[in-house]
Structure 1
Amino acid sequence: MRFDSGVWADIPINPAGRELVEAARQLQIAGNVKAAYETLVKAAADKTSSMPMHMIAGILYDAAAGASGEAKSRLSKQAAAAAREALARNERDPVAQELLRKLLDEQTPGSLAPADSGGGGAAGRR
């Protein structure tokens, strides 16, 4: 799920984190999603910004869309956990709000309950 970078204007992030986020965005555009994800995990160390987490949630959301069965369920849960982490950092993050809304709209009741997602840095913690 890609978002216009204009949405980011109101989301605070330190300069080093912003550089990592921009690098991750370029990697994702180039099709190197794994490297983008890994770069965002590094950027997520900036606990003051929700931006890296909502971008991680977007990557996981996209991965879930292309998956089926247990993998789809696991990736959707991880995306929801990352979106919730973004909202814990900034409750007004519009990208995290929209991702979580989309995930909730697509799921059956209880299927996005927080769970240990394993790996992925803060994406599995809540």
Structure 2
Amino acid sequence: MSRHAHEVEKFCMFFDSIEIAQAALVRFRAFPGIEAVQGAPDNVEVTAAGVDKGTALLALADRLGIPREATLAIGDSDNDRAMLARAGVAAVMANALPEIRALGDIVSTRDNDHDGVAELFERLGL
């Protein structure tokens, strides 16, 4: 990645088992200058340090002239953590990981496979 940083934005890798993914996550997190998170138990996503959904959310909001407190993020996994932490309103799916649920200002009663996002939009009047 360091030799081709201008060409590589993200590595998204899926593994044969959760155990292999966890071992890979630990190894990737040991490298300085990169960010390693999971979007699913069998997945590892690797980007440059400081590159995450939260940074992207605020960059987009700034570009569009939207104040931070007027932003909404919806998530359920570790790869959503930074986005939820930086959003004005953090909405979390019912099936979110427990540590991600703890970040939510609002939590759906339905999961992401059963119209959880639609439920949140309805509850928020969107």
Task: Decide: shared fold, TM above 0.5.
Answer: no
Higher strand share: 2
Bigger Rg, which one: 2
**TM-score (normalizing by structure 2):** 0.33
- Larger RCO, structure (CA 8 Å, separation 6 or more): 1
Higher helix share: 1
